[in-house]
Every structure is written in structure tokens, then in C-alpha cells.
Amino acid sequence: MPVSSTPPTELPMPDSLVPSTERAKPAPTHPHAPPSVHPDDEMNPWLAQEARFDYAARKLNLDEGTCKILRLPTRELIVHIPVQMDNGSIEVFTGYRVQHSIARGPGKGGVRYAPDVSLDEVRALASWMTWKCAVVNIPFGGAKGGVICDPRKLSQAELERLTRRYTAELIEFIGPEKDVPAPDVGTNEQVMAWMMDTYSMHMRQTVTSVVTGKPVNIGGSRGRLEATGRGIAVVCDQAVAKLGLAASQSRVIIQGFGNVGSGAAHHLHARGYRILGIAEYDAGLWNEAGIDIPALLAYKAQHKSIAGFPGAQAVSAADSSALLTRECEVLVPAATENVITSANAASLNCRILCEGANGPTTLPADDILAAKGIFVVPDILANAGGVTASYFEWVQDRMGLFWTEDEVNTRLDRIMTDSFRDVIAYAEAHAVNNRIAAYMLAIDRVAYTTHQRGMYA
């Protein structure tokens, strides 16, 4: 059994490649050089994940052959998608789908629509999905997709045509038992409905379980939309308790007020945390007494932006990223990658960094945070509530039996709590930081399954 003093989760915990006697031993002091990348490559998320993977794999004494298998994605697809625009012209968009690992189950991971999508970014995101699904011990591998486009500049009709053609290009590679997409930055429930419908038209039958994050009336799960934010609140509760703090004493700053950031704000506020600051692209907000989050959510729903919210001091868009360095107990970057870097990590003033976004912290920043004694809840644990609820959605679609929101939330809270404890137990047993511990736990589980399945010649 993996190192954990917690009772077993409802899912069977796989065995480990590392004998328990080895795992219980304290780690030798600095047996390997810490992970590093060339300074010019600090912003490349794939190189950062590679370096962290290599370090964690060496700490596990993983054999070189298994390292070679797990280091690279299984499959990388590049598609060029012709789309007729509303004005009659034709545009060709480039899209990707990367399946990093399918050892533990079908690939699982979101689809991102953004102008700066790149193959290296999608690769990194796909591998993080492998590790994330393994950290929370759900039976999925890791995948991710993306299309280079600016969804804010496309009409609904153009977005629909782009989504349907992208789905059609991937038709042989996705499916409930192959690879199950979900929403990510720039995509939403409507995009998932179009993907599900396109796939179903090709299959000549409705296949709801081909994607997750769908609207509830067409096979979505209750609680899915809020699950990432809820999971963040659950692990924050654990982290705060670990440091001997209480929610009511904890001041929070959040970057991003989209699905993840606003969900985290909602759940943290409901648990008694004081949300002092919110940093968005176009504006920042600050209120020492704590922002009224339900009022801000209502304001954003009406105005589509947090700018101009009357219940807080306005911070200009140019200064909003500086909010990350103000004093607080919990900092939640929930917007995008590479926002905590070698340039600003030393200025952080938080006790806990709970990573809502994927890849918000660069590799060189990890060491700076460790030297400052900041307790990091790494992305592959902190934001895993979303994929966990996606797993529930996939299960419900395949059963044709749908759970109440309470059932979803109870199962989600238990998995997030158990996973937090598993990661911390690994960190303490191996004397590594929480991020490397999460990688080690995940790599151990994926490697074990890879060995069990053996290699197809």
C-alpha cells in the first residue's frame, strides 16, 4: 500500500513499485541534483514538468526503461481545421490533442481555446493530467487538447463550426474508453455539448460519456461546474489546519475570477475565509475587511467583469498582478501558467500557496518558495476536484443513473482529503517538497500499472 495513515478510499489503492520498507525510510540527503532548467526555458511548462518528473523518478529509484516510457506522451495529434467564417471567408485553425498516458484508463483532459496554445503547453498539460488522475487515484490516464484561436473574437456560430470540425478530426482517437475531453480555459458546457453531439452523430447514437463538463440536462453531473473550486477549499482547509491556523484567521488573495477562481472564492468565503484581493486581467479588487463574494458573483454575472465592483477598492489592471505579493495566509493563483516566477517568488507574502491553475509556478520559483518556507499545495493535487467530478460524470453517464449534489460533494470531499493526506505523508517520508511528493506518488502508481500491463510487442 502507498504510504498513508488514512483509511482506504472507496477505490482500491494500487500497490506500489517501491517496497514499503523503502518508502518508510528517510530519504538520503540530497542524493541528486535538484531539478533545473536553463534560465531561457523558465516559461516552458513542458521542460519544467520533464525536470520535475526526472527528479521524482530518480527519487523513486524508477528503472530507466520505465522512465523512458512515462517521460514522453503516447500520442500527439496536430490538426488543421478549416472553418467558414460568418463573412464567408475561410480560416484554418491549428489544433492539438496529446495523449500522455493511457496506462490506468482512458485519456482524460480538457480542451483549451486560446491564442497562445502551443504543442509544448498541451504536452505539459496532458502529462499533468496523468499525474493528477493518479494522485487522486481515479482510473484515467492523461490527455489534453487545444486550438489556437481567440474565442472572444469568434461568433457563437463560428465557435460551433470550429468545435464540430475539431471533434470530427479527432473522431478515431476520442471515445468513452479511449480519451474523454472536458472544458478548460476558453471552452465551456456549450462547447462540450457540441463535441458530444458531433461524436454522437458519427457514432449514429447518443454517447454522452465521450466528454465531461456537459450541461446537467444532457448527461452532466451535478456539482461538476463547482468541483474544482470546492476541491481547492477542501485542501485549503487541510493546509490551514496543518499549519495550526483557522479559516476565520486566514486572509486570501485569488488571481483569476473565472470558473476556478470564482468557485474557489465562493467556497472559501462560505467556510469563513476572508477574501481580501482578486486579481483579474482587466482589473483588481482589494478590501481589508473582506470582499462580499456572493455580491461580487452577482455583479460579475451582470457586468461580465469584476471592474467597477462597488464593494472594494479598485486596483488598476496594470497593478493587479502585484496583488499576488501582498500579505495573506493563502494565495490562490487560479488564472494561468507561469505567474509565480524567479522574478516575483521572493516577494510573495503568503503562508500557503494553493495552486488552482495548472502550472502557475515555474521550476526556479519552487526553490525560492521552499527557502521562504511557503507551504505549497501543488496544482496536480489542488485543482484535481474538477477531474474527480468529471470521473463521477463519466461513471453516471455509463450507469444511466444520476447522483444528487450531496452524493457528488461527499465523494469529492473524501477523495480530496485523502489525497492531500497521501501527498503530505509521501513528502514527510521522503523529505521532499509537496510538489515532488505528488509527482512521486503519481509516478509510482502509473509505473506500477505500466509494469502490470506489460509491454505490447
Ligand X SMILES: NC(=O)c1ccc[n+]([C@@H]2O[C@H](COP(=O)([O-])OP(=O)(O)OC[C@H]3O[C@@H](n4cnc5c(N)ncnc54)[C@H](O)[C@@H]3O)[C@@H](O)[C@H]2O)c1
Which residues have a catalytic role annotated? 144
Min separation Cβ 453 and ligand X, Å? 27
Min separation Cβ 148 and ligand X, Å? 16
Dist. CA 350–CA 14, nearest whole Å: 35
Figure out which of the listed residues 336, 342, 349, 417 binds ligand X, where binding follows CB under 6 A.
336
Figure out which of the listed residues 46, 166, 194, 257 binds ligand X, where binding follows CB under 6 A.
257
Three-state DSSP state, 178: coil
Q: Which stretch binds ligand X (CB under 6 A): 42-50, 178-186, 191-199, 424-432?
A: 178-186
Rank residues 429 and 442 by Cβ distance to ligand X and give the closer one.
442
In the complex, residue closest to ligand X by CB: 258
Grid look-up 526553490 returns: 367
Nearest residue to 386 via CA among 159, 166, 135: 135
Q: Which residues are within 8 A (CB) of 298 and not within 5 positions of it... i.e. 6 or more apart?
A: none
Cβ-in-10-Å burial (0-12, 13-18, 19+) of 96 comes to buried
Dist. CA 392–CA 390, nearest whole Å: 5
Dist. CA 262–CA 268, nearest whole Å: 10
Figure out which of the listed residues 191, 232, 233, 357 binds ligand X, where binding follows CB under 6 A.
357
Q: What is the DSSP letter of 345?
A: G
Figure out which of the listed residues 50, 226, 280, 422 binds ligand X, where binding follows CB under 6 A.
280
Q: Which stretch binds ligand X (CB under 6 A): 93-101, 163-171, 332-340, 422-430?
A: 332-340
Q: Which stretch binds ligand X (CB under 6 A): 83-91, 196-204, 255-263, 397-405?
A: 255-263
First and final C-alpha spacing in the chain: 30
Min separation Cβ 188 and ligand X, Å? 8
Figure out which of the listed residues 6, 94, 281, 292 binds ligand X, where binding follows CB under 6 A.
281
Residue 383 contacts ligand X per CB under 6 A? yes
DSSP string, 387-438: HHHHHHHHHHHHHT----HHHHHHHHHHHHHHHHHHHHHHHHHHT--HHHHH
Figure out which of the listed residues 122, 335, 429, 443 binds ligand X, where binding follows CB under 6 A.
335
Min separation Cβ 182 and ligand X, Å? 7
Q: Are 299 and 312 in contact (CB under 8 A)?
A: no
Number of residues that bind ligand X (CB under 6 A): 24
Min separation Cβ 255 and ligand X, Å? 5
Dist. CA 93–CA 89, nearest whole Å: 13
Rank residues 3 and 179 by Cβ distance to ligand X and give the closer one.
179
Dist. CA 185–CA 197, nearest whole Å: 21
Instruction: Give CA 215 to chain center in angstroms.
Output: 20
Nearest residue to 387 via CA among 156, 157, 128: 128
Dist. CA 270–CA 158, nearest whole Å: 38
Grid look-up 470521473 returns: 391
Q: Taking CB under 6 A as the criterion, which residues in 220-239 touch ligand X?
A: 228
Figure out which of the listed residues 159, 279, 345, 440 binds ligand X, where binding follows CB under 6 A.
279
Residue 184 contacts ligand X per CB under 6 A? yes
Min separation Cβ 105 and ligand X, Å? 18
Q: Which stretch binds ligand X (CB under 6 A): 26-34, 153-161, 257-265, 286-294?
A: 257-265
Nearest residue to 391 via CA among 262, 239, 250, 209: 209
Min separation Cβ 398 and ligand X, Å? 21
Rank residues 209 and 358 by Cβ distance to ligand X and give the closer one.
358
Cβ count near 395 (within 10 Å): 16
Rank residues 182 and 425 by Cβ distance to ligand X and give the closer one.
182
Figure out which of the listed residues 99, 167, 255, 450 binds ligand X, where binding follows CB under 6 A.
255
Q: Are 324 and 331 in contact (CB under 8 A)?
A: yes
Min separation Cβ 346 and ligand X, Å? 20
Residue 396 contacts ligand X per CB under 6 A? no
Rank residues 232 and 424 by Cβ distance to ligand X and give the closer one.
232
Element (H, E) at 111: strand 107-114
* Interface characters, 258-277, with ligand X (x: CB under 6 A): xxxx----------------
Nearest residue to 319 via CA among 365, 285, 290: 285
> And the C-alpha cell for 165?
470540425
Binding site for ligand X (CB under 6 A): 183-186, 228, 255-261, 279-281, 321, 334-336, 356-358, 383, 386
